[in-house]
A and B are shown apart, each in its own frame.
Chain A
């Protein structure tokens, strides 16, 4: 578990470097990635379905990113992108590709569909928190 903690932090921060995130935001990027991955791992460990786990983790990532974006007055994309990266179903997509190559089409389609669902879950998680943010803004204005 500690290894997961460390590696997810370093991986997210390293992705920040690949995306040329400003130096002073790198630590926050790592933190966002770590938080999302931890939640995902915890859900999977509780044997919750991986789609729901991804949805929840993406939601958390977007929530923290919005908080950071407000705190540091930077575009939200800096934090959300590095946080989302660990959740991207690269492994599944890879497996699907491998099955396609070895002519195991039915399994390949199954895996590809699952990877698609997971990407959809990431998107929904991001959008949910965006919507919440907009509602809270509008609500504040009406009040």
Chain B
């Protein structure tokens, strides 16, 4: 629009917004939409973004360079998605300048998770029990399912920091859940081992990934849809294998 060096800042804002959203588990179409919307509200109308779960490419017609960001770790943090979304809204309505937007995005990027760890573990604890009841379990299995689910989820959180390979962390967590459930049934605290395990495993199930994969496939983002689907399948497979190991004893 008015001056050339600004274009670099705009690209930077777009890339950062895209990166944060993709790392926090947003749908691909939303990331691409947000990036091109930010660009066009800063006066760059011919922008192209190509977003996959492992990398973002953003390019503007003309002499300006294309940029590539690699995305190596993906987690679920819908609060960041919401915040970036509201920043993009503010940019569209002209309330934020490029500099301010960049500052705010950097702040969001550094932010830690919205809820403390104990609360997350507690949520996994409670939801495991609730799922037990929803799947027609009995109330006397409520506490065993809660404990197994809480254990499994804390194990997952811990191993995620320790191990690079997500698959293995999920495998070990579900193995732990299976063992805990078996222990509870053997010492007579729990009764139905199937129901306890199903309830306790639910916090690990890749629900967000499955939803996003389908959503992306339908919207025509075939590459990201399939790769997210593969990730979801791998997670489900890891959980299944962990449980299967327990039963093969």
Binding site for B on A (CB under 8 A): 3-4, 6-8, 10-11, 14-15, 17-23, 25, 37, 73-75, 77-78, 80-81, 84-86, 88, 90-91, 93-95, 97-98, 100-102, 119, 122-123, 126-127, 130
Residues of B within 8 A of A130 (CB): 218
Q: Is the CB of A17 within 8 A of B123?
A: yes
Residues 171-202 of B contacting A (Cβ, < 8 Å): 194, 197-198, 201-202
Binding site for A on B (CB under 8 A): 24-27, 30, 76-82, 85-86, 89, 113-115, 119-120, 123-124, 126-127, 129-131, 133-135, 153, 194, 197-198, 201-203, 205, 207-208, 210-212, 214-215, 218, 236, 240, 243-244, 247-248
| Secondary structure type dominating chain B contacts | helix
Q: How far is the CB of B209 from chain A (nearest CB, A)?
A: 10
Q: List 15 A-B contacts (CB under 8 A).
A: A15-B203, A19-B76, A20-B78, A21-B78, A21-B79, A75-B26, A75-B78, A78-B81, A78-B82, A80-B211, A93-B240, A94-B201, A122-B214, A126-B215, A127-B214
Q: Is the CB of B133 within 8 A of A77?
A: no
Q: Is the CB of A88 within 8 A of B205?
A: yes
Which chain A residue has the least Cβ–Cβ distance from B206?
Answer: A88
Q: How far is the CB of A137 from chain B (nearest CB, A)?
A: 14
| Secondary structure type dominating chain A contacts | helix
Given known A-B contacts A22-B78, A73-B86, A75-B30, A88 and B210 have beta carbons under 8 A apart: yes
**CB < 8 Å neighbour of B123 from A18, A102, A119:** A18
